[in-house]
Amino acid sequence: MADSTDFVRQAIAEDVAAGRFGGRVQTRFPPEPNGYLHIGHVKAICINFEIAKEHGAVCNLRFDDTNPTKESVEYANAIEHDIRWLGYDWPKTLYASDYFEALHGFAIKLIKAGKAFVDHSSAEEISRLRGRERGGEDSPYRNRSVEENLALFEKMCAGELAEGECVLRAKIDMRHPNPNLRDPTLYRIMKATHHRTGDRWKVYPMYDWAHGQSDSLEGVTHSLCSLEFEDHRPLYNWFCEQLEIETPRQIEFARLNMTHCLMSKRHLLRLVEGGHVKGWDDPRMPTVAGLRRRGYPAEALRDFVKRVGVAKYNSTVDHRLLEFVVREVLNRTATRRLGVLDPLKLVVTNYPEGEEESFEAQDMPGVDGTGTRQVPFARELWIDRDCFAEDPPKGWKRLAPGWEVRLRYACLVTCTDVVKDASGKVTEVHCTWDPESRGGATADNRKVKGTIHWVSAKHALDAEVRLYDHLFPESPDEGEGDVLERLNPNSLTVVTAKVEPSLAAAEAGTRLQLERVGYFAVDPDSAPGKLVLNRTVTLKDGYKPGKPPAPPKGQGKQKQKPKPKPAKPAAPTGPAAELAFEQFAALDLRVARVKTAEPVEGADRLLKIGLELADGEQRTVVSGIRAYYSPEALVGRQVVYLANLKPRKLRGVLSQGMILAANGPEGEAILLEPERALPDGAKVT
């Protein structure tokens, strides 16, 4: 998995060493069965299962089946299949619905303790009262008696009240800076049939109510989840504390974001239901099912997650890293075969008509003990159109008039003539072969321009080959309007290729390399007499992890000019240089509350400001806003704080970050404050 020093593993190791949870480790992966898993889920799966494995512990699979209107057995079965395909297993499949009785009892306990109430406010009214700024307002139903709340909740559970008529809410603090603790909803009325419990329940728990208690009931010690649940952690802890049950430790890590990929099941469902793709397993989809059908090996997905690592701050990974890892795995595991995507007839004019022979080809060139096969050869062959140039450019290493090349595994041929159609397009290439070069070598060891791939026209199979491009531009979530409006209309191209006859019996899922062409997988649509191949990845794209992208084609290497002496920078007159999205995403912007503020001695413009983040964490920042804000005016305010700036000393004070401010119309500094009420330490996105 990842480096053993990542912060999640460090935290768990510290808990084990301290004897927390009796030195025990237990994790879980809790998907909602409302869609198929995607590449983002793979990171969470690998982290949870691998950490459990490292400690000789159990990782549960527990379905969050709390919304029967969106869930199905199909999704649950697909999720189980995907996780097992990735290489993981678990003792028993669990469900949040296993705990519906216990959760119901917990709700009764909160009501009796005066910490939950039935609210008849509409969803819109509840949202308004919870507030978007510094605090909410109490519901008019908040002070109902315990007896009234128990009676109403019983009616909710019995199905005597209509859907949407009321909900059960926790009674916490409507003015809490963390909106998640402003009397959250615990149960809503849903008269829907559940795929496991049938019509037993008329009310269903909200995710936030079921999540933490399910972990506790299962004995989960470490709840490992992505950063969007960081602000929910205080709520989960509050529930467990009030119910007097063990509180698992929640640790959040950065989710996996990747260029060209949508990581939203809601949008992926729209792609499927709108017919924009051919199902959840369409090879263009970022789903595990789609990647598997495209030919991505499970080993490559696990290795990709390992390379991405476990971080605390969100960022976006270049999709080419995933393709790079896939190539690495396929290069050492995929069987080689011959095939051409854009067939051009090659006629060996001095080869006897009607005759044929075969040449030995290696299944895995350079790998001992991997076997060979016989590839048929005859007078007429197919080569790829891009292996021939009538007017070859500089550096050309394939076939051209008068040039000799090697046919892979077969022989040497020399181009003698071409045949064109009325439009001037080359339709045939005529060559002669050297019969003494069988196998591709000659007695005189003469050098040739290059090696090209081929198949016998008489023996070749037709194959439907599906060539895939990205469904979306680099950042599909950016921009205005519907994200589906940015779909790439050319994400799928279908061609009829010619491949060697040994592929006639290839089974669905078989991964192979068409030599000098790319990596492919046999699609499940294949049938006897109908071969369908999906291109997994191209043979190479020049990408190397950690290196900048190559210059555009045609530019090549430029001669380096002597470095000029550094000049004094001119005053800026226009926009700054463009910033890569990955650089911007690395900024960790947090909400902080000013606890102290005082002038910096000997500096007219500087204030020394003490900030408080989550859980009492303190930071000191030096800011040049003294001319615009008095210390008294700052204390108690929430500000936006850049948390991952390298500390530096200013006038003898170590400044651990930066408070963000903007220029006002008169040139004054205006502090940036969160647009809505957020808990101290919350991430600003």
Residues designated catalytic: 32, 255, 265
Q: Are 416 and 390 in contact (CB under 8 A)?
A: no
**What gap in Å lies between CA 434 and CA 423, rounded to an integer?**
32
Burial 449-471 (b: 16+ CB within 10 A, else e): eebbbbbbbebbbebbbbbbebb
Task: Let me know: does 84 contact 183? Beta carbons within 8 Å.
Answer: no
CA dist., res. 168 & res. 189, Å (int): 9
3-state secondary structure of 92: coil
Residue 375's closest CA among 342, 412, 336?
336
| Rounded-to-integer distance, Cα 104 and Cα 153, Å | 10
Inter-CA distances, 211 with 117, 183, 218, Å: 20, 17, 11
Write the CA distances from 353 to 189, 356, 377, 510, integer angstroms: 80, 8, 12, 35
Strand partners, 418: 429
Rg (CA), the chain: 32
Q: Give the C-alpha separation, 353 to 355, whole Å.
A: 6
3 state SS of 586? coil
CA distance 518 to 532: 15
Taking the C-alpha atoms of residue 680 and residue 685, their distance in angstroms, rounded to an integer, is 14
Amino acid at 155: K
Q: Measuring CA to CA, which residue among 64, 65, 57, 63 is closest to residue 27?
A: 57
Q: Which residues contact 397 (CB under 8 A, 6 or more apart)?
A: 449, 450
Contact 265, 53 (CB under 8 A): no
What are the structure tokens assigned to 600, written together?
A: 């910096």
Residue 220 CA to residue 249 CA, distance in Å, equals 9
